Amino acid sequence: MQTSGYGASVEDPQLTARRVFSLIAPELALVEAEFERQARSNIQVIANIGDYLRASGGKRVRPALTLLSTYALGGDASRANVIRMATVMELLHTATLVHDDIIDNAETRRNRPSINSRFGNQTAVLMGDWLYMSAFETSLSERSLPVLDILTAVTRKMTEGELLQLMLLGSTDITEEQYFDVLRRKTAYLFSACCEIGAILAGGGEEELRALREYGLNLGTAFQLTDDLLDFTSFDDVLGKAAGVDLIEGKVTLPLIYLLEKSPSLRAAVQGVMREGKYEEVSRAALLNASEETGALQKARARAVKFAEAARGALDALKPSRYKDALNSFPTFILERET
């Protein structure tokens, strides 16, 4: 049985998450304080929404990856500039969530009304923009062209991913290649940026930067693929948001891509769900059963496992440490999560 380096089995996702996050708990507390500081504003509506966003919580996976990557290369993640950059990664992620919820007309996020639902679309758009600008303003203080290059590129890729996804909405002919292209742009490149920036702040060499860049890209791919699987298989009270909405919103994710390859006769029913915005022509349960019977669901899960394994493999270039062990346990935590 594989262990995390703390005597705990990485087969237990809850124990893994607790161990990993406790390892950097003081630094994450500093990130929370920095997030609060950066969200302050003399414009009351910004301050109110900033408080609302912080209170909504979140796993803080992205700043955790920045901190762990810095420590894994022998750097000091408690330094003020590392804390600031870890906060920048969370600000960018939060901005994308705010904009995504507007585009998707989402009503809830983490068991609370979404920003657009609570404050209105116009305010939410501007708040998302403000978060992006705050992130870049903070990153400028690092005076690092490599860091700015990464942040500029990843922000562009995330925007491109959202535009590509909008172009593909309502299509049942989306290919596996198109699906992963959107996924990488919207999610995986930000994971990669978190890890690479952490490596830069630690003064890592090119091989170490490449290793953590690849680790983050594969981890982020596994993360979003698991997220899409959860939307397909889980329930509202477990997810903390509406389940089964990807298809209602016109998004065909990997399980359905594989299902339609195996059972093209279901294409009309799937199109009906997207057209009507509800599971009327075919139920979620029927699609889930068909995906299990055809092996489509298992095939999609196997892809997530493969990306998780690739993430672990990328860490071979790093020297042994408890922080490398923590990064090594992240894929299991991601694969086995329920929310």
Indicate whether 333 pLDDT > 50.
Answer: yes
Confidence label for 236 from pLDDT (cuts 50, 70 and 90): low
Residue 15 pLDDT class (50, 70, 90 cuts): very low
Query: How far is the C-alpha of 62 from the C-alpha of 87, rounded, in Å?
Result: 9
Question: Looking at residue 86, what is its pLDDT?
Answer: 97
Share of the chain above pLDDT 90, in %: 63
What's residue 105's pLDDT? 77
Closest listed residue to residue 124, CA positions, set 108, 102, 92, 93 = 102
Phi then psi dihedrals of residue 9, to 5 deg = -75, 130
Whether the pLDDT of residue 270 is over 90: the answer is yes
Which of 146-150, 174-178, 237-241 is the least confident region?
237-241
Please, how many CA atoms are within 13 Å of residue 316, restricted to the half-sphere of its CB?
Answer: 4
pLDDT of residue 117: 84
The pLDDT value given to residue 14: 42
> pLDDT tens digits, residue range 166-186?
999 999 999 999 999 999 999
Q: Convert the pLDDT of each residue in 27-55 to its tens digit.
A: 999 999 998 888 877 788 888 888 888 77
C-alpha span between 133 and 91 (Å, rounded): 9
Measured torsion, CA atoms of residues 100, 61, 184, 320, in degrees rounded to the nearest 10: 170
| pTM summary value | 0.90
* Segment holding 112, helix H or strand E: strand 112-113
Over the chain, what is the mean pLDDT? 88
Measuring CA to CA, how many Å separate 6 from each of 13, 23, 25, 129? 14, 10, 16, 41
Retrieve residue 248's tokens: 């209602």
pLDDT (tens digit, 9 = 90+) per residue, 189-211? Answer: 999 999 999 999 999 999 999 99
Domains annotated on the chain, with CATH: 13-336 (1.10.600.10)
Partners of 9 in the β-ladder: 3
CB 308 within 8 A of CB 332: yes
Residue 238 has pLDDT above 60, yes or no: no
The pLDDT of residue 220 is 97
How many whole angstroms separate alpha carbon 160 and alpha carbon 190? 13
pLDDT given for residue 1 in this prediction: 35
- Decide if 94 contacts 132 (C-beta within 8 A): no
pLDDT score at 235:
65
- Residue 69 and residue 198 in contact, taking contact as beta carbons nearer than 8 Å: yes
In this structure, is the dihedral angle defined by the CA atoms of residues 292, 297, 302 and 305, taken in order, positive or negative? Answer: negative
Per-residue pLDDT at 187 exceeds 90:
yes
Q: What would the pLDDT profile of 292-330 be if each residue is shown by its tens digit?
A: 999 999 999 999 999 999 999 999 999 999 999 999 999
